[in-house]
Structure 1
């Protein structure tokens, strides 16, 4: 019969203090993980021999692991403490996530664990200062992450089978929430002009951090600078300066769009405007959507939902990817899962049927800067098609309510046409909250030369609201726009561009 481990038997009190003084190992992760596996295998042998009355406490496991580590002359003593701690964290706490979870200011943790161990594992976390990349050690491999997941789900009486249910939600008694998705998920990156896709399991953990009181959220001192700025704002409103874009024309030479329209789309993406990209089959909707990902602000987390992994986003940070699995996991399922993964922006490769309503509801609750593509013959028909799809949702939303959501939350529609092998943006419109449209640019086709269309773009410019927001954000007017700056009462003062 196995005897329980005690402090006296191993003289643990004194040795534990010395144990804490040992340095941590800062060598290569691959070597560290091999040692960890080695200790775990021997511990498992000990555990398999234990009787029913064996001491299974953390203290007992710590003593066992220490003895195993000391019996390995090839493992440096300075690595012992960290190895034992990481294994104990795995057994009794949150494993490699424990250093983050021990911080009271961390609210979200997201782990991307590739099935291929040669591909990089990514761990992101969110604190009060924003989202960050975790540089500590993660899971040893997919098998380690899966056993960690199964152990924590077992506490709740749940089991995860990605073959049956690719996406699973779990809530712990203390309110912490866990979401896992695999079999239909991946991350992608664009680095040094090269695209990389890694199919992976994605685990998202969320908890509530310490609440603030109203007093803690309030500035204590009256800021005289703020008073001066408020006074200047009042004076500026009394004498409002207006910038008006003067229409300009650009002849078509085979490219997809003119420079002024490209600058508008770049600024639209940077300012986080929700938008639709419309056109027929093969018009270049995905091509344009892909190019616009390079315009995302640095650090933006994009989540892409597709029927298959086709888009090649070009932004600097990793992109969360979800694809549908026929008969098991639809894009509607993907959208619901996406909202558990706290992305900044969403992209749906093609919206149709009741997915349109789910998309509108998602951007209604946040995710500014999201976008999708839709089959339509022009911008106006794209809007009507979107409304038709959304109104056909099984919940039977009111059509006018859908229209209101669309005009409130979708800012821009871009339409692309195709003539033979030539693709070009032929219309860009802004949607106004009052239900009207403002044309930003339009392509005027005057004929065909061989197979190539002949014509020109007219850039009319964005709305005054768009220009005002650019000014507030400190975004300069592009050189491709010709702008007249005028006073409300004094008329035109100057022209720029």
Structure 2
């Protein structure tokens, strides 16, 4: 609320509002506006004088010094006195404008931020530790925001305009980007950036954060090593891709891995990884390469394992075929609220391939292809947890049968809004234990003891 708005509450009072208070507020607005105008003017003059292709090749320290020198020269020409703090801020902002992502650069440099959400040029939210908060960052106008979006997507050969107003892209550090512009976005361009840690998380980090238990971690490691096909299910922002990255870390370095994604974001650490990415259609509506085409092509690339970032459509059919024809140990993710819903979604996506298979045949394919469904969730307090690990055991009539091995039980919420609950095993010893034993992975009986509770 502005000073003027707050003082309007004195309206019923006989006390007059000093006019100099309004003058002070208006002058502050003028100074802020003048600074943005000055920055835009200096920025444009710099673009007229320098060769960006040459400046991009300079080391960061030298680039900063060169920009500072040029900005000081231009300030002398403009005859506008500013203090050292404003001068430093101006140099930094212009450097970000020329070679970076403008107002987003400070946010991208903050390791505590996991999501950056731009709601038109006026509003930028970030997510820290699972909670959204409004920042003071903003763009000059919607055209400014559009320039930044275009800079992001053009780096990877994609485009966004009125004929193609939605785009998925990525930043050089692997962060996932989604942008949508008018006419689909009514109020102005929208930009969402999902960031990933500079140092990929390990399974020990999830245990330390109480996202899962040591017993769960041991079973998951055994499943990956023994080449069981795994499906990770969860909602938006629940940590599916993070868990997929961590689980892939248990794949032996001697195996050839092919990854298939809409926007490449997986950060596998093995030496023999082949990364494939879909391609959208061009201006004429031609040249599109879908995930289904990449899955089919990957079968000719001699993969030991195929990892699909997320199944969204008809590629689910080819994925199941691959899992059932010798490419064991494959993994993927799917949006679903429960393991049972995840299986149903896979069935629906197989039907999108228009194979005209009867429902029972599709379910038999699913039950024989997928061994385990891992359910992850973002709780109301912002924390991510592995809330269920279920084994697909086969078919009973027309129904796929599943049994839960581990679960998380929520007991309530404390006064600070933090979730209270515990992990525990259900007491069922899984059928996949025999397969793990064949691969030299022995699961101790105490891992499945239902009386062992982890808070």
TM-score (norm 1): 0.45
Structure possessing the higher relative contact order (Cα contacts under 8 Å, 6 or more residues apart): 1
Q: Which has the larger radius of gyration?
A: 1
TM-score (norm 2): 0.49
